């Protein structure tokens, strides 16, 4: 048992990387890994061609099944559905850094939500985890030609929908530090300078707390939103700069309690996308 656990734990970070990108949920990903582990300890490792391939196959197939069963849930979800953020007060822990090194931003995961389960699996396995088409074929049960076509179509869709800007982590963090100041000031005319003209705000309250049912768009409307919050909660809320899904982001606390996790897409000098997760079930109880 100990040997099996050690072998599984050696692949755990990679398996979590696959599951989280597939599901956008830490909780669901941990459930998938637990189910995979139970199947692993009941297997016969000596008969396996490749331990990594076997584990990746089980995780991916479980994730595909989970996404299919979640389709109805997400269609009935109140307002916008956003991935559960991975929040860290500093850089991600070493065991996750390698496998989560490529893009796990909320923006990227939101784009992946538009792919069908098998599309998402094939795209991630090939483009993020460098699986060969022969391996992907065995995992999703389609021939290699079909897998190539699936990945090609998925890659096109992702590239069309995915915002791409070149900005350093340091510049990203510095802009957010300045944004904290103006957002806390409540002065709309100052806030608007940090926003691109067509900036968009997507909020996820899950029907449990208030949120926008539709995307809020336009620099003036978004600036008024942040200014209004500052006035409404004057002296009661605090922003904290943290790491969210591998990028600088903000946690907002009201009366000392975590109220939201906010992720940003920045075009270099201004904010062009904001994703605000308010659903309490998706927020870790991160202390101030």
Whether 223 has a pLDDT exceeding 80, the answer reads yes
Identify which of 121, 129, 109 has the alpha carbon closest to the alpha carbon of residue 24.
109
Q: What is d(CA 179, CA 1) in angstroms, rounded to the nearest whole number?
A: 51
Paired tokens of 152: 């090609």
Q: Please give the pLDDT value at position 101.
A: 47
Q: What is d(CA 18, CA 27) in angstroms, rounded to the nearest whole number?
A: 14
Whether 288 has a pLDDT exceeding 70, the answer reads no
- Banded model confidence at residue 135, pLDDT cuts 50, 70, 90: very high
- Banded model confidence at residue 202, pLDDT cuts 50, 70, 90: very high
How many other C-beta atoms are found inside a 10 Å radius of the C-beta of residue 131? 23
Q: Please give the pLDDT value at position 95.
A: 53
- Provide the Cα torsion 257, 263, 268, 269; round to 10°: -40
Whether 222 has a pLDDT exceeding 60, the answer reads yes
Identify which of 216, 231, 220 has the alpha carbon closest to the alpha carbon of residue 273.
216
CB 62 within 8 A of CB 32: yes
What interhelical angle do 133-140 and 51-75 show, nearest 10? 60
Share of the chain above pLDDT 70, in %: 91
């Amino acid at each position: 048992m100990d040997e099996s656990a050690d072998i599984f734990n050696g692949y755990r970070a990679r398996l979590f990387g696959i599951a989280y990108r597939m599901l956008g949920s830490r909780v669901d990903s941990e459930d998938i890994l637990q189910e995979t582990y139970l199947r692993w300890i009941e297997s016969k490792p000596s008969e396996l061609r490749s331990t990594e391939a076997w584990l990746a196959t089980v995780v991916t197939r479980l994730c595909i099944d989970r996404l299919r069963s979640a389709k109805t849930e997400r269609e009935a979800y109140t307002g916008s559905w956003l991935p559960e953020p991975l929040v860290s007060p500093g850089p991600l822990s070493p065991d996750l850094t390698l496998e989560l090194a490529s893009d796990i931003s909320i923006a990227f995961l939101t784009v992946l939500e538009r792919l069908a389960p098998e599309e998402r699996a094939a795209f991630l396995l090939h483009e993020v985890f460098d699986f060969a088409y022969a391996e992907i074929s065995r995992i999703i049960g389609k021939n290699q030609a079909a897998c190539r076509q699936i990945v090609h179509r998925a890659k096109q869709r992702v590239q069309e929908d995915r915002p791409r800007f070149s900005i350093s982590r340091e510049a990203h963090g510095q802009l957010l530090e300045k944004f904290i100041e103006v957002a806390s000031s409540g002065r709309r005319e100052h806030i608007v300078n940090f926003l691109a003209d067509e900036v968009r705000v997507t909020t996820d309250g899950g029907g449990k707390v208030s949120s926008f049912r539709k995307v809020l768009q336009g620099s003036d409307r978004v600036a008024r939103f942040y200014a209004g919050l500052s006035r409404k909660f004057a002296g009661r809320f605090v922003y904290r700069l943290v790491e969210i899904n591998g990028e600088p982001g903000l946690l907002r606390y009201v009366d000392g309690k975590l109220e939201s996790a906010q992720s940003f897409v920045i075009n270099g000098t201004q904010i062009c996308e904001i994703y605000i997760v308010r659903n309490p079930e998706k927020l870790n109880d991160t202390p101030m």
